[in-house]
Structure 1
Amino acid sequence: MIRLLLVDDQSLICQGLQALLGEEPDLEVVGCAENGQVALDAIASLQPDVVLMDIRMPIMTGIEATRLIKEQFPDIKVLVLSTFDDDRDIAQSMRAGAKGYLLKDMPAPELADAIRFVHRGYSQMAPGLMEKLVMRVPDSNEAEAQSIPEELVQLPPRERDVLRLIGQGCTNREIATQLHLAEGTIKTYVTHLLNRLTFKNRSQLAIYANAIASSLNS
């Protein structure tokens, strides 16, 4: 059974989600919160596995709540469910530690499946949002004018190789094979990358690597 905490300042949204998701045999809604602060205060007692988080709420936004939840309860998965597909909201949510970003107009069965995938550790993005975030390809003049990010310049060459392959969707085992290194060594490199670039998880590394793919391949 996957325990869910719903966070939304619109009570009708919470009630509707509770009714829809409550029909799923493996999902249990353990509570609803009207803002991020209420959610944060309730987590210790409710012990949810997944928090379904709205973004734009009074008192504490979903982005700030996500950051604090991941700091205080790192095992809890946060899945954003928003009306807005704003690029900045998406990027800030993922940087705060969310495992995915979905839109409220998605069908209930797809939302239930997304919750299951997030609970298992996979990231979930609404159709088109990943492209909005990282798939903008500059023309040749732009590419020449772009400077390599400072944090990338400071990475050792081997860590750059690992980051590039993470961006291509490779697993640690596949990266180890391509670079002729032990899988344990790759895990160490991934940990170093997370620390150097101040990301919380591999999904954020992959999004970042896609965004700077041209620099990594240069």
Structure 2
Amino acid sequence: MIRVLLADDEAMIRAGVRAILAADDGIEVVAEAADGRAAVELTRAHRPDVAVLDIRMPVLDGLAAAAEIRRLHPDTAVVMLTTFGEDDYIARALGDGAAGFLLKSGDPRELIAGVRAVAEGAAYLSPRVASRVIAQLPTARLDARATARERVDGLTAREREVLALVGEGLANAEIARRLHLVEGTVKAYVSAILNRLEVRNRVQAAIIAYESGLVGPA
């Protein structure tokens, strides 16, 4: 069972998201918050697998709450849910360690898919968000691409294999099956890769994999 914390300052939005998640028998909403500070406190109390956070909330906004949750409870994956699709929100959310970014105007099935993906250790961006991120990559500066290649060259051959599959969006269990490894070993590889690349989440690692030429665009 995937245990979820839901935070949004609008009660009707929380009710709608809760109803969507309830359609999946493998997901349970264990706590709800109306502001970012409460979301952090409830994460401490309930230790959910996934925290679904609205970006604009009182007391502490979703971006700040995401950073705090990731710092205090790294085992809780964060999904940002918002009506805003501006690039600065996307960049800040991913930079603060969010593993998923979904738009409230998206298909409800994306919400379930996103929660399941990040709970399994993968990253998930709604198609519209992903297209914006990928569209910016070909225009990246040549020096950024060179830096990405240098960072990837510092990995072992096996770590590069794992990074390539992370770049393809595979979860730990899928990578384990592909490479005939134990899932715990894959998790250790992913942690080592994030440390070596000095990135905070799988999305940032996937972007480096793309910039370095290790994988192509989806």
If the length of structure 2 is used for normalisation, what is the TM-score?
0.73
Shift of 1:13: 0.5
Where does residue 182 of structure 2 map in the other structure? none
User: For the Cα contact (< 8 Å) 1:172–1:187, is it kept in 2?
Assistant: no
Q: 2: CA distance between counterparts of 1:189 and 1:34?
A: 37
Where does residue 52 of structure 1 map in the other structure? 52
Q: Report Cα offsets for 1:150-200 as digits up to 9, x if no partner.
A: 96597484449849846853969989xxxxxxxxxx999865653354312
What do you get for the CA RMSD once the two structures are aligned?
A: 3.7
Q: 1: CA distance between counterparts of 2:62 and 2:212?
A: 29
Q: 1: CA distance between counterparts of 2:93 and 2:4?
A: 19
User: For the Cα contact (< 8 Å) 1:167–1:208, is it kept in 2?
Assistant: no
Q: Report Cα offsets for 1:87-106 as digits up to 9, x if no partner.
A: 12112211211111111122
SS in 2 for 1:58: coil
Q: 1: CA distance between counterparts of 2:164 and 2:31?
A: 40
Where does residue 109 of structure 1 map in the other structure? 109
Identity of aligned residues (%): 32
SS in 1 for 2:51: strand
Structure 1 runs, 4 residues or longer, greater than 6 Å off: 172-175, 186-190
Pairs within 5 Å for 1:25-174:
25-136=25-136, 146-148=142-144, 152=148, 155=151, 157-159=153-155, 162=160, 165=164, 169=168
Q: 2: CA distance between counterparts of 1:18 and 1:66?
A: 19
Q: 2: CA distance between counterparts of 1:9 and 1:131?
A: 28
Q: 1: CA distance between counterparts of 2:43 and 2:189?
A: 33
SS in 2 for 1:29: strand
Counterparts in 2 of 1:156 and 1:104: CA distance versus 1, 3 Å: closer
Counterparts in 2 of 1:26 and 1:198: CA distance versus 1, 3 Å: same
Q: 1: CA distance between counterparts of 2:44 and 2:54?
A: 19
SS in 2 for 1:128: helix
Q: 2: CA distance between counterparts of 1:165 and 1:95?
A: 20
Q: Compare 5-14 and 23-32 and name the one that shifted more.
A: 23-32
Looking at CA atoms only, which structure, 1 or 2, has the larger radius of gyration? 1
SS in 2 for 1:52: strand
Counterparts in 2 of 1:193 and 1:24: CA distance versus 1, 3 Å: closer
Where does residue 208 of structure 1 map in the other structure? 208
Q: Compare 157-166 and 19-28 and name the one that shifted more.
A: 157-166
Counterparts in 2 of 1:63 and 1:208: CA distance versus 1, 3 Å: farther
Shift of 1:108: 2.6
Counterparts in 2 of 1:42 and 1:129: CA distance versus 1, 3 Å: same
Q: 1: CA distance between counterparts of 2:90 and 2:143?
A: 24
Q: 2: CA distance between counterparts of 1:151 and 1:10?
A: 43
Shift of 1:37: 0.8
SS in 1 for 2:58: coil
Counterparts in 2 of 1:198 and 1:64: CA distance versus 1, 3 Å: farther
